[in-house]
Amino acid sequence: EDWRSRNKVQIFQYVVLKWALALLIGLATGLVGFFNNLAVENIAGFKLLLTSNFMLKHRYHEAFVVYAGCNLILAAATAALCAYVAPAAAGSGIPEVKAYLNGVDAHSILAPSTLFVKIFGSIGGVAAGLMVGKEGPMVHTGSCIASFLGQGGSRRYHLTWKWLRYFKNDRDRRDLITCGAAAGVAAAFRAPVGGVLFALEEVASWWRSALLWRTFFTTAVVAVVLRGLIGFCRSGRCGLFGQGGLIMFDLSATVATYGTPDLVAVVVIGAIGGLLGSFYNFSVDKILRNYSVINERGAPFKILLTVTISLLTSCCSYGLPWLAKCTPCPPGSQCPTIGRSGNFKSFQCPPNHYNDLASLFLNTNDDAIRNLFSGGTEDEFYISSLLIFFAASFSLGIVTYGIAIPSGLFIPVIMAGASYGRLLGTLLGPLSKLDKGLFSLLGAASFLGGTMRMTVSVCVILLELTNDLLMLPLVMLVLLVSKTVADCFNKGIYDQIVKMKGFPYLECHPAPYMRNLDAGDAVSGPLITLAGVEKVANIVYTLKLTGHNGFPVIDEPPFSEEPGLCGLVLRSHLLVLLKGKQFTKERVSTGAGHVLQRFGAFDFAKAGSGKGVQLEDLDIDDEEMEMFVDLHPITNRSPYTVVESMPLSKAAVLFRDLGLRHLCVVPKTPGRHPIVGILTRHDFMPEHILGLFPHLKHRRPHMSV
């Protein structure tokens, strides 16, 4: 509606700003992504160096104390930060962003405090050696940055800029946050195309072609920033930064020819990976429900839980490598590697021997994955070591998600999947001659397909990580098989978490039972309407009484011949209007001119989170309460409507596809009250509908397609 009043200069400002914001989001996300890696590599590097120095002196107990102590302190600090400053920063963040882009305005999801905790909490959690990744948090961070920039910072810091008023609406905000999410993936994996596809496949609920272009621009900026900074670090000016920290492999040396037996092996990997992936989802769901009981008891319990998991992880990482035999070093490579990273960790072994389990456990997660993916290293790992590492990473991944720290799911899943793939590749050795590193990659793909249920974006991300397009068909195949198998059991992990968190997420397809209900059936609660010219006291009373965000406005005589639906008015607009105090003594229609004298077009724009006028801000005296105000100028005169007899499924499609927040239900036959009710997002939720019609619960739902 604002568009009509915009002139050319304003449109130019808008277009320039849109692209400038996309650029800024890319720059900022790229910088944060680089800073995150730099910090993790240096903190974790320092910790591992300290530990290995003690071990070289055979002071094993002190080494463990130092190692576990560092982990503990980092984990506890992170949990404290998260619990006290921004509880919304815990977890992956992808489900929250997904819900936001679906239209759920949950409080504090994208607040500046969440951004702060997410950045530093993610560094702390990953540096503490916990089985968590930085990808989910990076997506959330990118989205928070986008939201922060789009709002012109927080109002507290007086950063609101006049141009930014154009972005005070749902659509432009969602567009920015989609760009931010894509930038996050691009920064985490250095995968610009993968980031765009991830935003498209997993995060966004509505998509336009123009958005594809802008998202792509943002991720390209991220890629350029990262490339420049890593080039700067190659010269050794970044401390322990080492190989870049951002996992990036080069498998192009390995062979990419394959025959039928190889394809069979790939299908087997995909099928088992799908099974294990859906089991992973199932377990995470169970664990999360138990943890939420603990976490609800308060911040100290959150910290206690995190400390427990940290201790458990330290014990596993330090204890399990003792089970592995020492292996003589292969000739011709630097072995054992002294220092922080590298394929061959010495651990307790004599000179010229290495401990293969320690190479996986006593490393940063990125380096462990790089070791698993490395090609041309057929015999580096024992089957027993791979089995132990797989079991440990699988279980630790499950128990770690849900503690009160920012924790991504990609890396744990990739680690478990890569060790599983390498294990299966070793077992399938007689069948297939593919490289073990490639098996590892396929295993990781099968786990990602089995848990996240994304195919195209995971495939492209893996391709961008490995920089080899020739294995595309194999990765595609394994993803298709694992997703198909896993879809038979449960939903993707992000969908599970969205549901568990209770976000009113609108699915793409309406549930089958909605076909048997009418739109009128789903309307519930008392209908509250306002008159076209309403008494101020009535409005205030209505706003106090209910938390509804939209009210139908009914024109009644003398303003119309018979009662008719005038339109829909929003709570936020009512509050702005009341604050303006343009009241009249008599019940007269003042018209739009009267209101436009007092307000600009942007006064009614949607404010940022927590920035709008609140009911408590109003200061209306008793005399004013008895006066009248004309609601016509702020009423949406043509809301989308459906007839009460329309199947609920059709109404749901309308609601979802157009991204509505309120849908008016009008009577089928004339002569009745002009509106039956209003459908909102919550009215389409299964809990609501099955609560109204419990008999539908017992009918077996149709298979989804």
Considering only 234-242, 432-440, 554-562, 611-619, which stretch makes contact with a second copy by CB under 8 A?
554-562
Q: Which of 653, 690, 692, 696 binds a second copy (CB under 8 A)?
A: 653
Q: Which of 646, 690, 692, 696 binds a second copy (CB under 8 A)?
A: 646
CA 450 – CA 280 distance, rounded (Å): 9
Q: CB of 189: closest distance to a second copy in angstroms? A: 12
Considering only 115-123, 206-214, 292-300, 321-329, which stretch makes contact with a second copy by CB under 8 A?
206-214
CA 363 – CA 411 distance, rounded (Å): 13
Mapping DSSP to helix (H, G, I), strand (E, B) and coil, where does residue 606 land?
A: coil
Q: Find all residues with CB under 8 Å of 173, minimum gap 6, and list them.
A: 147, 150, 167
HSE-up of residue 670 (Cα within 13 Å, Cβ side): 3
Angle between helices 8-56 and 112-127 (to 10 degrees): 20
SS3 string of 407-464?
A: CECHHHHHHHHHHHHHHHHHHCCCCCCCCHHHHHHHHHHHHHHHHCCCCHHHHHHHHH
Give 180 or 412: the residue with its C-beta nearer to a second copy. 180
CA 458 – CA 451 distance, rounded (Å): 11
Give 499 or 581: the residue with its C-beta nearer to a second copy. 499
Q: Which of 290, 467, 546, 614 binds a second copy (CB under 8 A)?
A: 467
Give the neighbor-by-neighbor strand order of the sheet with 550-555: 530-531, 550-555, 564-570
Q: Is 561 near a second copy (CB under 8 A)?
A: yes
Angle between helices 260-295 and 383-400 (to 10 degrees): 40
Q: Which of 54, 647, 661, 690 binds a second copy (CB under 8 A)?
A: 647
Considering only 122-130, 189-197, 320-328, 691-699, which stretch makes contact with a second copy by CB under 8 A?
189-197
CA 60 – CA 348 distance, rounded (Å): 9
Q: Which of 657, 697, 699, 701 binds a second copy (CB under 8 A)?
A: 657
Considering only 270-278, 347-355, 428-436, 456-464, which stretch makes contact with a second copy by CB under 8 A?
456-464
Give 595 or 664: the residue with its C-beta nearer to a second copy. 664
Q: Is 201 near a second copy (CB under 8 A)?
A: yes
Give 296 or 561: the residue with its C-beta nearer to a second copy. 561
Q: Is 14 near a second copy (CB under 8 A)?
A: yes
* CA 262 to each of CA 308, 418, 455, 539: distance values in angstroms, whole numbers, following the listed order: 43, 17, 21, 71
CA angle (149 as vertex; 89, 401 as ends), nearest 5: 15
Q: CB of 240: closest distance to a second copy in angstroms? A: 25
Give 88 or 226: the residue with its C-beta nearer to a second copy. 226
The helix/strand count (H/E) of the chain reads as 25, 10
Q: CB of 655: closest distance to a second copy in angstroms? A: 11
Give 208 or 594: the residue with its C-beta nearer to a second copy. 208
Cross-strand bridge partners of residue 570: 550
CB 117 within 8 A of CB 140: no
Q: Which of 39, 68, 97, 220 binds a second copy (CB under 8 A)?
A: 220
Secondary element (H or E) of residue 60:
helix 60-84
Considering only 219-227, 281-289, 295-303, 434-442, which stretch makes contact with a second copy by CB under 8 A?
219-227
Q: Is 239 near a second copy (CB under 8 A)?
A: no
Q: CB of 608: closest distance to a second copy in angstroms? A: 22
Give 52 or 278: the residue with its C-beta nearer to a second copy. 278
Q: Is 31 near a second copy (CB under 8 A)?
A: no
CA angle (292 as vertex; 144, 146 as ends), nearest 5: 5
Q: CB of 500: closest distance to a second copy in angstroms? A: 21
Letter string b/e over residues 558-573, b meaning 16 or more CB atoms within 10 A of that residue's CB: ebeeebebbbbbbbbb
Q: Is 641 near a second copy (CB under 8 A)?
A: yes
Among residue numbers 279 through 318, which ones bind a second copy (CB under 8 A)? none
Considering only 10-18, 313-321, 436-444, 493-501, which stretch makes contact with a second copy by CB under 8 A?
10-18
Q: Which of 179, 223, 553, 652 binds a second copy (CB under 8 A)?
A: 223
Q: Which of 57, 227, 297, 682 binds a second copy (CB under 8 A)?
A: 227
CB 578 within 8 A of CB 540: yes
Q: CB of 486: closest distance to a second copy in angstroms? A: 13
The H-assigned helical ranges of 85-133 are: 94-102, 112-127
CA 373 – CA 422 distance, rounded (Å): 8
Give 57 or 668: the residue with its C-beta nearer to a second copy. 668
How many residues sit close enough to a second copy to count as binding (CB under 8 A)?
A: 70
Give 406 or 520: the residue with its C-beta nearer to a second copy. 520
Q: Is 557 near a second copy (CB under 8 A)?
A: no
CA 468 – CA 255 distance, rounded (Å): 11
The alpha carbon of residue 509 and the mean position of all alpha carbons in its chain are separated, in whole angstroms, by 21
CA 609 – CA 543 distance, rounded (Å): 19
Q: Which of 339, 502, 564, 591 binds a second copy (CB under 8 A)?
A: 564
Q: Is 200 near a second copy (CB under 8 A)?
A: yes
Q: Is 267 near a second copy (CB under 8 A)?
A: no
- Before 558, cis peptide (omega within 30)? yes
DSSP single-letter state for residue 93: S
CA 473 – CA 231 distance, rounded (Å): 32
CB 683 within 8 A of CB 697: no
Among residue numbers 35 through 94, which ones bind a second copy (CB under 8 A)? none
DSSP 205-226: SS--HHHHHHHHHHHHHHHHHH
Q: Is 169 near a second copy (CB under 8 A)?
A: no
CA 72 – CA 69 distance, rounded (Å): 5
Angle between helices 410-427 and 383-400 (to 10 degrees): 160
Q: Is 234 near a second copy (CB under 8 A)?
A: no
Q: Is 181 near a second copy (CB under 8 A)?
A: no
Give 216 or 503: the residue with its C-beta nearer to a second copy. 216
Q: CB of 359: closest distance to a second copy in angstroms? A: 28
Give 223 or 388: the residue with its C-beta nearer to a second copy. 223
Q: CB of 222: closest distance to a second copy in angstroms? A: 10
- Tokens in use for 23? 């650029």
Map residues 609-638 to x or -, x wherever contact with a second copy holds by CB under 8 A: ----------------------------xx
Give 71 or 215: the residue with its C-beta nearer to a second copy. 215
Among residue numbers 469 through 528, which ones bind a second copy (CB under 8 A)? 469-470, 472-473, 476-477, 480, 483, 508, 512, 515-516
Give 73 or 476: the residue with its C-beta nearer to a second copy. 476
- Tokens in use for 86? 């921004």
Give 191 or 329: the residue with its C-beta nearer to a second copy. 191
R_g of the chain, CA atoms, integer Å: 29
Q: Which of 32, 196, 428, 497 binds a second copy (CB under 8 A)?
A: 196
Residue ranges binding a second copy (CB under 8 A): 3-4, 6, 8, 11-12, 14-15, 18, 192-193, 196, 200-201, 207-210, 212-213, 216-217, 220, 223-224, 227, 455-456, 459-460, 463-464, 467, 469-470, 472-473, 476-477, 480, 483, 508, 512, 515-516, 560-562, 564, 637-638, 640-643, 645-647, 650, 653-654, 657-658, 668-671, 702-703, 705
